[in-house]
Amino acid sequence: MAASIIQLLPDHVANQIAAGEVVQRPASVVKELLENAVDAKSSDIKLIVKEAGKTLVQVIDNGLGMNTTDARLCFERHATSKIRKAEDLFDLHTKGFRGEALASIAAIAHVELKTKQDQEELGTHIVIEGSKLVTQDVAVLPKGTSFAVKNLFFNIPARRNFLKSETVEFRHVMDEFQRVAMAHPSISFTLIHNGSELYNLPSSNYRQRIVNIFGGKTNEKLVPVSEETELITISGFVGKPEFAKKSRGEQFFFVNDRYIKSAYLHHAIMSAYDGLLKEGNQPSYFLYLQVPPHTIDINIHPTKTEIKFDDEHSLYAILRSAVKHSLGQFNVAPVLDFERDANLDTPYEYKNREADFPTIQVDSNFNPFATEKSSSKPLSSFGSYKKETTTASWESLYVGLKQDTQEIESFSFESEEVTSKLFDDDVIETKTTSTYQIHKKYIVSAIKSGMLVIDQGRAHQRVLYEQFLTNITVQKASSQQLLFPLELYFSSDEMILLKELQSSLENTGFVFDAFNADSIQVSGLPIGMAESEVSIVLEELIGNLQNEIPESSFSQSDSIAKSMAKSMAVKTGTYLTEKEQENLVNSLFACKEPNVSPFQKPTFITLTVEDLDKKFAI
């Protein structure tokens, strides 16, 4: 009999494999620990993070705590207090329920647990490293639980190498923190990163919690949404269309206090905004949906951020209708007004009256060929329209007209002669137009072998990109000072990103007077940037960099240069004067790489005379 080739995996290996599903990055640990703290009925939760969670993720709560047995048992696989039988999976009222998270985390990190129940005098202190119990002692502790997860992926270096930069990883940590904090406004939350307190959110209501997280200016952007049906109860807020952004940052769905992603429900929101948004803009929304637990399946995704609804089509229609109604109710969207104005009513009492015919008045004394008598003669009702001058000799009206015309013509001719003296006559005679603009999109320039067709937008992007990159690298940018400083408002995570980019932005020509908690003051701009473009450029820059912030400073500088060049370049449909066309062409061919835009697309094409001859040879 051949030897068996299928073997049972050891527990510690199975836990490491499970960890790959549950723990993808430090933010995954943050999510699991925060949700456990919420399930423990805590009223105050503190998150402490070092080096974006790679070194430390610690969650301290004042919840129920655990006894000694539970403290040890919680690290076993499929050990949970949330479910007892399989049917419970479809009637969930808690966050964590599968009992894999703590076992998976303990398999790939150093975990320290301190916990005590309210009625107990002493608590339990446990240290586990890579699934192995190191110590278990009794200790004097406050009520609640403290989980400290240190040195994540210490025993799987390959996974650790796959982690992004600290900036990227911390953005994911912030996202998870914000999602849990927004779902539970009655709980106070604190976030401390590398020793500095970033958030201190007191117990409040939903609106205050949103404003506390995303900044004071968020309040004026919110429109409340409320709808209650048998299938679903909807509450929360949507953003006014005028505050829509290019990025999809502030978009949140919560189903039964659990953050979820749903492209289908997102489409319902977008259809409610139909006709209210500029193309490419995204509205913000913070919507809390309550549905019966048995109508959803949460267990279809390892991170539980995607769920399945029983009746998606009805939810789509209800959500779309609720948002549309709110936008109309608060005069954000145009709606039919059924409160009629009495002044606009049709006067039906006039229907039996006959029409009044207009009266015609004729001045019987008027004679156009009669000589005007004394001015003292009383005027008739039409007297004011009589000619004051003599009309007997009508030819006299046209006397001198030809002479006047000649004088005007000679005057304009003389003025042209005078102005032409300002320029060199030789230049005027030999001047030929070297560039032409077609459809306000392309610039055509003649060359010896044929002609160039240049895309004005891409060409300008290349010129600006190399200018900005040089300024950032050499750190010798010029600025135009503003008469009055601009104050721009951003959310907390956007402010963190702007602080990191401050030196690079200053090297492009920005001058910042102050960096506040949720706003910045700008007193100087890069040359060529309009004051109205500042907020657009910074928002697009933040949006581009939020998606994937580069690791090296050069890559970051490159992204800033690209983003600003894209925002500030002339767009299709912009008319360029002859001088501007020539200047753009000359600047393009003074670049190091004139052939392509910063986004690797061709800036021009060449049409030779032979190419043109072939077209006519048909």
Between helix 492-508 and helix 553-568 the angle, nearest 10°, is: 80
Per-residue burial over 119-155, b if 16 or more Cβ lie within 10 Å, else e, is ebeebbbbbbbbbeeeeeeeeebebbbbbbbbbbbeb
In a domain, 254, yes or no: yes
In a domain, 377, yes or no: no
pLDDT tens-digit profile of 51-83?
Answer: 989 999 999 999 999 988 888 888 887 666 555
Last residue of a domain, one of 294, 313, 329: 329
pLDDT tens-digit profile of 295-305?
Answer: 777 765 556 67
The predicted structure's pLDDT at residue 509: 82
Q: What is the mean pLDDT of the chain?
A: 79
Q: How far apart are CA 412 and CA 146, in angstroms?
A: 90
In a domain, 475, yes or no: yes
Better-predicted residue by pLDDT, 537 or 321: 321
Nearest residue to 382 via CA among 364, 396, 394, 397: 364
The predicted structure's pLDDT at residue 506: 84
Q: What angle do CA 3, 9, 11 make, to 5 degrees?
A: 150
- Over range 238-261, report the average pLDDT: 85
In a domain, 384, yes or no: no
* Global model pTM greater than 0.85: no
Q: CA distances (Å), 122 to each of 69, 125, 496, in order?
A: 14, 10, 41
287: domain CATH number is 3.30.230.10
pLDDT at 543 over 70: yes
551: domain CATH number is 3.30.1370.100
Q: How far apart are CA 112 and CA 225, in angstroms?
A: 43
Last residue of a domain, one of 201, 234, 264: 201
Same domain for 184 and 212: no
The predicted structure's pLDDT at residue 79: 63
In a domain, 153, yes or no: yes
Same domain for 223 and 153: no
pLDDT at 419 over 50: no
The predicted structure's pLDDT at residue 128: 92
101: domain CATH number is 3.30.565.10
Same domain for 159 and 61: yes
Q: Tokens for 240? A: 């006014």
Between helix 492-508 and helix 456-474 the angle, nearest 10°, is: 90
pLDDT band at 277 (very low <50, low <70, confident <90, very high): confident
In a domain, 112, yes or no: yes
pLDDT tens-digit profile of 109-134?
Answer: 999 999 999 889 999 999 999 888 89
pLDDT at 239 over 70: yes
In a domain, 4, yes or no: no
Same domain for 215 and 116: no
Same domain for 501 and 529: yes
Same domain for 184 and 131: yes
Least confident of 19-28, 90-99, 538-547: 90-99
Same domain for 26 and 40: yes
Q: What angle do CA 126, 132, 134 make, to 5 degrees?
A: 45
Same domain for 219 and 95: no
The predicted structure's pLDDT at residue 279: 79
Better-predicted residue by pLDDT, 470 or 14: 470
Nearby residues of 597 by Cβ (< 8 Å), 6 or more positions away: 455, 458, 459, 461, 462, 465, 603
Better-predicted residue by pLDDT, 354 or 261: 261
pLDDT tens-digit profile of 398-410?
Answer: 666 655 555 444 4
Q: What is the total count of domains within the chain?
A: 4
The predicted structure's pLDDT at residue 145: 93
**Residue 357: alpha-carbon gap to chain centroid:** 64
The predicted structure's pLDDT at residue 58: 95
In a domain, 614, yes or no: no
Same domain for 594 and 476: yes
Look up the domain containing 503 and give its range. Answer: 445-605
In the three-class reduction of DSSP (H, G, I as helix; E, B as strand; rest coil), residue 222 is classed as strand
Q: Which one of 55-64, 302-311, 327-336, 556-565 scores highest in mean pLDDT?
A: 55-64
Same domain for 237 and 186: no
The predicted structure's pLDDT at residue 60: 95
The predicted structure's pLDDT at residue 430: 36
Last residue of a domain, one of 141, 170, 201: 201
In the three-class reduction of DSSP (H, G, I as helix; E, B as strand; rest coil), residue 339 is classed as coil
Same domain for 211 and 180: no
pLDDT band at 313 (very low <50, low <70, confident <90, very high): confident
Same domain for 66 and 188: yes
The predicted structure's pLDDT at residue 413: 45
